[in-house]
């Protein structure tokens, strides 16, 4: 088992993360004495559906101070009403750990009924810190950092696991929730969306390529966000003199899943996809760090109509950090032109260039770091925050 950086809160919590990120394994290790309701198991679902009073009765029988885990709560969101009532009637008798891989049904069926004392947490694939260091880069970008995939040693096993992951996602998350009417259209959309990963998102163009109506494609993107497989990266709009592009970018949550959805797992990595896959991975590390260290703030990107772009902008209050990612072994000084342009338009607290070379460099006001060094600084708290 990989040592995870997440910590169990002192109070009841809702843990959201994509399927396969290790939520269940982590919770079983952290709360071995918990009263467990595993809704992934059909027999457990059937038992609770046939005997709606069983959940409440079993929790009431548990000793004071017991943790109660409900795994994949979105499969039976009606339990939220019981949990809300139990917490209201017995505020400090038990603590609840609820996990979910979809926010859609939870939002639709009353997760907002939970008391304010329930905290929200996010769970992610493995970070470099949790892996104990960076794997070989091509392997990392080809197969991502889902725990089961990283635990597999053979390339063929990783391919099969990721292909099964995509198939199971379509079968379980989408069909069970009836989130889309036609799985064939959604499957075509997924392939096109994977090819557009990390790029400025033109919904109309993707709709044409997938052969699906534009409103339907927008709904498909919403489904990916709701099932935690993707995230929008908005365009940053500072008070700058240069007009900025306002369209968001869309990123899937893991490079291996990007290649699996795009049907690229069995193909050699092309140079054109390498850059976007590296950005996807760096975004994952940034999001995980912000969550695990409670850093706060917002992530976005910045781009002018002329094409100058900064991959990631982190802002919190008056603090701003800019990060440019280049999938190259040699740092091109022209790579920081966008950072310099942004610096003239808006004061920057810090500016970083991230590349695949071996040495740290200084380019004007920009710290240029190899990927591994950048991640070490990030997890040491020396990139965002202070």
220 and 294 together in one domain: yes
- Of the candidates 278, 252, 124, which has an alpha carbon nearest to the alpha carbon of residue 192? 252
108 and 168 together in one domain: no
Residue 31 lies in a domain: yes
Residue 1 lies in a domain: no
pLDDT of residue 104: 76
pLDDT of residue 121: 92
Q: What range defines the domain where residue 350 resides?
A: 128-379
Residue 113 has pLDDT above 60, yes or no: no
pLDDT in tens, 44-98: 999 999 999 999 999 999 999 999 999 999 889 889 889 989 998 998 899 999 9
106 and 159 together in one domain: no
Taking residues 186-190, report their average pLDDT.
83
Residue 316 lies in a domain: yes
Can you tell me the distance from the alpha carbon of 227 to that of 181, in angstroms, rounded to the nearest whole number?
16
42 and 143 together in one domain: no
Taking residues 287-315, report their average pLDDT.
89
Query: What is the DSSP code string of 63-102?
Result: PTT-EEEEETGGGSTTHHHHHHHHHHHSTTT-EEEEEES-
- Of the candidates 223, 233, 228, 291, which has an alpha carbon nearest to the alpha carbon of residue 254? 228
Instruction: At 177, list the tokens.
Output: 């929730």
281 and 348 together in one domain: yes
Residue 36 lies in a domain: yes
Residue 115 has pLDDT above 70, yes or no: no
Residue 300 lies in a domain: yes
pLDDT band at 233 (very low <50, low <70, confident <90, very high): very high
Contact of 147 with 18, CB cutoff 8 Å = no
Give the number of domains in the chain.
2
- pLDDT above 70 covers a percentage of the chain that reads 90
148 and 289 together in one domain: yes
Can you tell me the distance from the alpha carbon of 309 to that of 300, in angstroms, rounded to the nearest whole number?
11
pLDDT of residue 175: 64
- Of the candidates 292, 285, 301, which has an alpha carbon nearest to the alpha carbon of residue 373? 285
Mean pLDDT of the chain: 88
Can you tell me the distance from the alpha carbon of 171 to that of 359, in angstroms, rounded to the nearest whole number?
46
Residue 324 lies in a domain: yes
Can you tell me the distance from the alpha carbon of 25 to that of 72, in angstroms, rounded to the nearest whole number?
13
Instruction: At 4, list the tokens.
Output: 């995870």
Contact of 321 with 346, CB cutoff 8 Å = no
pTM for the whole structure:
0.91
103 and 63 together in one domain: yes
SS3 133: coil
pLDDT in tens, 196-229: 899 888 888 888 888 888 888 888 888 888 888 9
Residue 4 lies in a domain: no
Contact of 202 with 78, CB cutoff 8 Å = no
Taking residues 14-19, report their average pLDDT.
93
Contacts of 13 (CB under 8 A, 6+ apart): 96, 97, 98, 118, 119, 120, 121
118 and 177 together in one domain: no
pLDDT of residue 239: 61
Interstrand relation of 35-38 and 249-252 (parallel, antiparallel or unpaired): unpaired
54 and 99 together in one domain: yes
pLDDT in tens, 343-376: 666 677 889 999 999 999 988 788 999 999 999 9
Domain boundary among 88, 122, 156: 122
Q: Backbone phi, then psi, for 253, in 5-degree steps?
A: -85, -10
pLDDT in tens, 128-176: 999 999 999 999 999 999 999 999 999 999 999 999 999 887 766 666 6
Domain boundary among 93, 122, 151: 122
Specify the CATH number for the domain of residue 62.
3.40.50.300
pLDDT of residue 77: 86
- Helices 203-210 & 214-226, crossing angle to 10 degrees? 100
Instruction: At 62, list the tokens.
Output: 């548990």
117 and 132 together in one domain: no
pLDDT of residue 245: 59
pLDDT of residue 160: 96
Alpha helix ranges (H) inside the chain: 23-30, 42-50, 54-61, 79-89, 104-108, 128-131, 137-143, 147-151, 155-168, 175-177, 183-195, 203-210, 214-226, 255-261, 271-292, 337-345, 371-379
Instruction: At 23, list the tokens.
Output: 């939520």
pLDDT of residue 211: 83
pLDDT of residue 305: 65
115 and 135 together in one domain: no
Domain boundary among 103, 122, 141: 122
27 and 175 together in one domain: no
Instruction: At 84, list the tokens.
Output: 């809300």
- Of the candidates 207, 357, 235, which has an alpha carbon nearest to the alpha carbon of residue 305? 235
């Amino acid at each position: 088992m990989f040592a995870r950086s997440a910590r169990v809160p002192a109070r009841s919590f809702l843990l959201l993360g994509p399927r396969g990120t290790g939520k269940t394994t982590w919770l079983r290790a952290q709360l071995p004495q918990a009263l467990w309701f595993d809704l992934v198991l059909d027999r457990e679902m059937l038992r609770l559906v046939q005997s709606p009073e069983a959940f409440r009765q079993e929790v009431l029988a548990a000793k004071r101070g017991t943790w109660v885990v409900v795994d994949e709560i979105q499969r039976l969101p009606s339990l939220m009403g019981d949990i809300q009532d139990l917490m209201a009637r017995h505020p400090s008798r038990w603590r609840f750990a609820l996990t979910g891989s979809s926010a859609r049904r939870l939002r639709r069926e009353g997760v907002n009924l939970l008391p304010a004392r329930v905290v929200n947490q996010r769970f992610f694939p493995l970070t470099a810190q949790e892996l104990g260091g960076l794997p070989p880069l091509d392997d990392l970008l080809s197969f991502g950092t889902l725990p089961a995939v990283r635990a597999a040693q053979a390339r063929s096993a990783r391919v099969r696991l990721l292909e099964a992951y995509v198939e199971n996602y379509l079968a379980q998350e989408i069909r069970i929730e009836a989130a889309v009417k036609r799985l064939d259209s959604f499957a075509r959309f997924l392939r096109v969306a994977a090819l557009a990963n990390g790029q400025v998102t033109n919904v109309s163009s993707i709709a044409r390529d997938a052969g699906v109506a534009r409103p339907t494609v927008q709904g498909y993107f919403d489904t990916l966000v709701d099932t935690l497989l993707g995230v929008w990266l908005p365009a940053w709009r500072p008070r700058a003199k240069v007009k900025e592009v306002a369209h968001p970018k869309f990123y899937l949550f893991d490079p291996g899943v990007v290649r699996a959805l795009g049907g690229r797992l069995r193909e050699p990595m092309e140079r054109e996809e390498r850059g976007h896959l590296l950005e996807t991975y760096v975004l994952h590390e940034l999001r995980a760090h912000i969550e695990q260290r409670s850093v706060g703030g917002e992530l976005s990107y910045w781009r002018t109509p002329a094409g100058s772009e900064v991959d990631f902008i982190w802002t919190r209050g008056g603090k701003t950090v800019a990060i440019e990612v280049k999938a190259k072994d040699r740092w091109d000084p022209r790579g920081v032109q966008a950072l310099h342009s942004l610096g003239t338009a808006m004061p920057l607290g810090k500016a970083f260039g991230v590349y695949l070379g071996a040495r740290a460099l200084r380019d004007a006001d920009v710290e240029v770091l190899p990927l591994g060094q950048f991640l070490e600084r990030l997890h040491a708290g020396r990139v965002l925050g202070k």
